Structure 1
Amino acid sequence: MPGTILLEVVTPEKLLLSQQVDEVIAPGSEGEFGVLPGHCHFLSTLRIGELRYRIGDQTNSMAVLWGFAEVTPTKVTVMAEIAEKAEDIDVERATAKVAEAERRLQAGGLPSEVKEAQISLEKARLRKKIAERARKTSHA
């Protein structure tokens, strides 16, 4: 079994990451799943969530907003609608987006507007959590 697995994260705009990693933990639509080198082939849809990957003792993360993951024994390809590395997320902007989404949710409205506000709040909270953790880790 090889020691690392290639992780590629692709969005419609660009190849965001292409790196050999020791482990990948992805937010599958049926729950999180972990991938180590030599894993069997499979395909999964992804939900809004945190994609984590470990290189040695360091764990990195990014926000993933929907997509697919294709797993082979030597490679994990994440094709995401939107993906952001933790270090690229602005904590203050993410905090403001949480407050904005909470206000929209409180205002209510049509069922479609409420659902949209719930999704916005979920995305904003995810981005804020990931950015705050990255900030704490970099200042530790």
Structure 2
Amino acid sequence: MAMTMHVDIVSAEGEIFSGQAELVVAPGQEGEVGIAARHAPFLSPLKPGEVRVKSEGQEPLSFYVSGGMLEVQPYLVTILSETAVRAKDIDEAAAQEAKRAAEEALADRSGRMEYAKAQAQLAEAVAQLRTLENYRKGRA
């Protein structure tokens, strides 16, 4: 039996996942972070992207997070995010529309939306679509 740790993924709307896992992969600001039980404690900001949770004997789970914070303790991983959604629940049409709107705003620099805000919205939409694509490919 592999060593496990407790994982909590929490959004502003509530708890998205709580359970035991062998491995968690999260989108850290400096790149993907892989965490197994007994990992050294640390805190890290997260960028928008996919969180993968692997539990013994189960299919890996995939989640989209809009950024947030990752807290790691030897037997506990906590992910706090403004938005967190199971990959299977991502609204592809809404993500495509958000991507299109952000790209338009970036192209129209005199537009109503701030450039930095449009960049952030584009990054989130692309991350949602990439998470959904990975989920469909079974890469979770």
Name the TM tier (shorter chain).
Answer: 0.7 to 0.9
Contact 1:41 1:73 in 2 (8 A): yes
Cα 1:70–1:17 shift into 2, 3 Å:
same
Q: Secondary structure at the match of 1:132?
A: helix
TM-score, normalised by the number of residues in structure 1: 0.85
Q: Distance in 2 between matches of 1:68 and 1:46?
A: 5
Q: How many residues align?
A: 136
Paired residues for 1:52-131 under 5 Å:
52-56=52-56, 58-109=59-110, 113-131=114-132
Q: Distance in 1 between matches of 2:85 and 2:133?
A: 14
- Matched with 2:8 is 8
Matched, 1:133 2:126: no
TM-score, normalised by the number of residues in structure 2: 0.85
Contact 1:2 1:37 in 2 (8 A): no
Q: Deviations along 1:93-124, whole A, 9 cap, x unmatched? A: 211221121111111137x7111111111111
Cα 1:78–1:133 shift into 2, 3 Å:
same
Q: Deviations along 1:61-112, whole A, 9 cap, x unmatched? A: 21111211111111101111211110110112211221121111111137x7
How far did 1:23 drift?
0.3
Q: Distance in 2 between matches of 1:30 and 1:136?
A: 25
Q: Distance in 2 between matches of 1:55 and 1:100?
A: 37
- Matched with 2:22 is 22
Cα 1:15–1:134 shift into 2, 3 Å:
same
Q: Distance in 2 between matches of 1:80 and 1:66?
A: 6
Q: Distance in 2 between matches of 1:67 and 1:98?
A: 20
User: What value does the CA root-mean-square deviation take over the aligned residues?
Assistant: 2.1
Contact 1:6 1:76 in 2 (8 A): yes
Q: Distance in 1 between matches of 2:30 and 2:132?
A: 25
Contact 1:61 1:86 in 2 (8 A): yes
Gaps of 5+ in 2: none
